[in-house]
Structure 1
Amino acid sequence: MKIAITGKGGVGKTTIAGLLARTLAADGCRVLAIDADPDANLAAAVGIPTDKLAQLQPFSKMKQLAKQRTGADQNNGGLYVLNPRVDDLPDSYCVEHAGVRLLMMGTVEHGGSGCVCPEHTLLRSLMKHLLLERDDVVIMDMEAGIEHLGRATAEAVDVLIVVVEPGKRSLQTSTQIEQLAADIGIKRIAYIASKVVDDTDLHYLQQALPNKTWLGHLSYSARLRDTDKDGSCAFDIPGAYQSQMAAVKTALLQMVNTSKHSIADIRG
């Protein structure tokens, strides 16, 4: 199962990505969390300790690795391999915590616009491998531009989750995201309402986004807000959002028609 999560900055998408990754891992799934947001904060949302976090480096910064894998470090007149081997990289460069393995992608410059630098080539090949060839449950925390995705990998995304909060700017961003998703062929889009105070907020969002698939919501919580401030992991702190995320997980699995057999295939 391959899930991409996006939304306007500040709506809580990284917190939700971390909660969903930990919830699925606690259920026995093999989870690979991908931080594909330039403002990388998914490690904290997953609960990765500081000492482990120090071992993480974005693939976009691994210039020597990119040159080695693409052959750009050889004297070949500027030519290099466009489909380098990457299948060993996820296990070699991830950090693991509570059943979740985390990779940090880093920024893809001019996503999809034709950049042919070794780093971009490595990232595109790695993303293709993660979405098309891995059996893990992949949870990707994306920026609003979903620029790490392209036409070659969009069909592998089972669901694009758009996180929205009650507010016009969040809704405007969600419309832009849907347009970008349609352009690259993502067919399944679902919504999660975030920072919901009461039923009035839910009604506002559902009225503003009619005929959409809603996976659930997370209530506004001062405790949840504080975890974002201090970098702690919401999954490790009791709160209503845990049961709400469990409900989101159930709706998500139903949406992608995951059978008991396929769930068994992705459990460790």
Structure 2
Amino acid sequence: MKIAITGKGGVGKTTIAGLLARSFALQGRRVLAIDADPDANLASAIGIPAQKLAGLQPFSKMKNLAKQRTGADQNNGGLFVLNPRVDDLPDRHCVEHAGVRLLMMGTVEHGGSGCVCPEHTLLRSLMKHLLLDRDDVLIMDMEAGIEHLGRATAEAVDVLIVVVEPGSRSLQTSIQIEQLAGEIGITKIVYIASKVADEADLTYLQQSLQNKTLLGHLSVSEAIREADKKGSCAFDMQGEFKTQISNIVTALGAFSR
């Protein structure tokens, strides 16, 4: 199962990505979590200790690796390989915790929208490999967009989860995300409601998302707030949200069949 998670900043998508990753791992599934958000926080949401992350770099920062794999370091007049070998990279450049392996993608910084450089080429090839060639449960935490996806890999995404909270700005962002997803061919789009304080919040979102697939919701949780403050993993705590995320995992399985 290949799952991409996005939504407006601050809605709780990274927390949900971490909860889903740990939930699938608890079922005995092989889980690969991809942090594709420039504000990388997925490691703490999974519960990976800081000392385990020492030395782990985003692929976008591995300039030497990108040059080696694409042949851009061979003084060949600026030409380089557009489909470098990447199949060995996920296992060599990951951190594992509680049955979840984490990869950090990062973002290539460049001046134009049409960047074709070794780092971008490496990221694109790696993403294609992860989505098309591996059997892991793939959970990708993305920024408020789908920049890491393209037409060549969009069809491999089993489901795009848009996380929303009660509020017009969050819902407006979700509309923009749906439009972008449609442009590259992603049609399986579902929603998870986050930070739901009461029945009125849930009703508001249900009415706003009529004719959409709402997989479930997470209530406002003091346990999640405390975990976020401490930079720790909510999955290792107890609360109503554990049942709610379990219900979402079940709904995901039914939806992706």
In which range does the TM-score fall when normalised by the shorter chain?
A: over 0.9
Distance 1:177 1:150 in 2: 14
Task: For 2:225, give the aligned amino acid.
Answer: R
Pair 1:20 & 2:47 matched: no
Task: For 2:245, give the aligned amino acid.
Answer: M
Counterpart residue number, 1:163: 163
Counterpart residue number, 2:99: 99
Counterpart residue number, 1:42: 42
Pair 1:178 & 2:178 matched: yes
Show CA shifts across 1:156-186 (max 9, x none).
0000000000001100100110001001110
Distance 1:107 1:177 in 2: 18
- Partner SS, residue 139 of structure 1: strand
Distance 2:23 2:127 in 1: 23
Show CA shifts across 1:187-242 (max 9, x none).
10000000011111111001111111011100001221121121100000111111
Counterpart residue number, 1:197: 197
- Partner SS, residue 149 of structure 1: coil
What are structure 1's unaligned runs of at least 5 residues?
A: 258-268
Contact in 2 for aligned 1:111/1:148 (Cα 8 Å): no
Distance 2:210 2:234 in 1: 30
User: What is the alpha-carbon root mean square deviation over aligned residues?
Assistant: 1.3
- Percentage identity across paired residues of the two chains: 79
Distance 2:186 2:212 in 1: 15
Aligned residues: 257
Counterpart residue number, 1:207: 207
Show CA shifts across 1:120-148 (max 9, x none).
00000000000000110000000111100
Task: For 1:130, give the aligned amino acid.
Answer: L
Counterpart residue number, 1:135: 135
Query: How far apart are residue 111 of structure 1 and its match?
Result: 11
Contact in 1 for aligned 2:223/2:238 (Cα 8 Å): no
Counterpart residue number, 1:235: 235
Distance 2:28 2:207 in 1: 36
Distance 1:88 1:35 in 2: 18
Show CA shifts across 1:49-97 (max 9, x none).
0111113210000000000000001021111100000000000000000
Contact in 2 for aligned 1:13/1:163 (Cα 8 Å): yes
- Partner SS, residue 121 of structure 2: helix
Moved over 6 A (4+): none
What are structure 2's unaligned runs of at least 5 residues?
A: none
Q: TM-score normalized by structure 2?
A: 0.98
Distance 2:256 2:29 in 1: 15
- Partner SS, residue 15 of structure 1: helix
Query: How far apart are residue 109 of structure 1 and its match?
Result: 4.2
Moved more, 49-58 or 248-257: 49-58
Distance 2:109 2:140 in 1: 18
Contact in 2 for aligned 1:109/1:120 (Cα 8 Å): no
Task: For 1:203, give the aligned amino acid.
Answer: T
Contact in 1 for aligned 2:12/2:163 (Cα 8 Å): yes
- Partner SS, residue 187 of structure 1: coil
Distance 1:101 1:110 in 2: 29
Task: For 1:91, give the aligned amino acid.
Answer: D
- Partner SS, residue 190 of structure 1: strand
Counterpart residue number, 1:261: none
Counterpart residue number, 1:263: none
Distance 2:71 2:192 in 1: 43
Query: How far apart are residue 108 of structure 1 and its match?
Result: 3.5
Counterpart residue number, 1:246: 246
